[in-house]
Amino acid sequence: MLELNKIYLESCLEGLKKIDDDSVDLVFTDPPYYQFRAKNLKALKNHKDLVTEFEFDGYKSEEEYLQFLEEVMMECYRVTKPGGAGYLFCGDDFVSFINRIVEKVGFNFRKVIHWHKTNPFPAIYTRKMYANSMEMMVHFSKGTPKTWNHKHVNEMHNYIQTPICMGKERTKHKTQKPLKVCVPYLEISSNEGDLILDPFMGSGTTAVAAKMLKRDFIGFEMNPTYLEFAEGRLAAL
């Protein structure tokens, strides 16, 4: 078993093989998206807090991307305890594919949670498209969830509204998720001392939330710059 409370600089497909069967209480992750993103758009020049240097995510085809996610989720299923659960961020154009993948590998699909970004990237007039102000989280479990820490009824909807990551919390990671959109779900679906897994740790939001809430964590990240961001955030707690 890997050392806990550490982010490993390696591919999650390799790292996950080192985690024991049925050892993880909660999977919480934001995998790379298969899509083209804006690059150097002049229309965003006044939005200095937003990242405008985006790239392809590196997959040659939609099929290759989905096969990769399926392999990751198969490993996540193996390491998740019976009664464990998970949350996976995705775009609205891929949510149906993700639902099928989580069920194919053995998880139970439970719900799609909608994250409404109150300050999304603005719509670009020349593209004739609406601003993308919604992002999804697919909630799944390995059997019936063993942990369900019910909050106030007003907080138990499949909808959450927060800004995208801004201000002092933000690093230079391109798609950093804010703590406000992560902490509530770790509180609901895990307890103190539980083990949280994030195969795509990025800037470390899952690890930071876990540490704040007295959970253990294991994560993987292939980008050394992003790992540096994450370790810096953890050290600052």
Residue with tokens 């305890």: 81
The DSSP secondary structure of 170-212, one letter per residue, reads: --S-TTPPPGGGTHHHHHHH--TT-EEEESS-TTSHHHHHHHH
Assess whether pLDDT exceeds 60 at residue 177. Answer: yes
Helix (H) or strand (E) holding 111: strand 108-117
Strands 159-162 vs 216-220: parallel, antiparallel or unpaired: unpaired
**Per-residue model confidence as pLDDT tens digits over 222-236:** 999 999 999 999 999
More confident residue, 53 or 176: 176
**Per-residue model confidence as pLDDT tens digits over 95-136:** 999 999 999 999 999 999 999 999 887 766 666 778 888 999
Mean pLDDT score, 159-169: 87
159 in Cβ contact with 105 (< 8 Å): no
* Residue 44 pLDDT: 43
DSSP-derived secondary structure letter, 155: G
pTM for the complete prediction? 0.88
| Overall CATH class of domain 6-235 | alpha beta
25 in Cβ contact with 147 (< 8 Å): yes
72 in Cβ contact with 199 (< 8 Å): yes
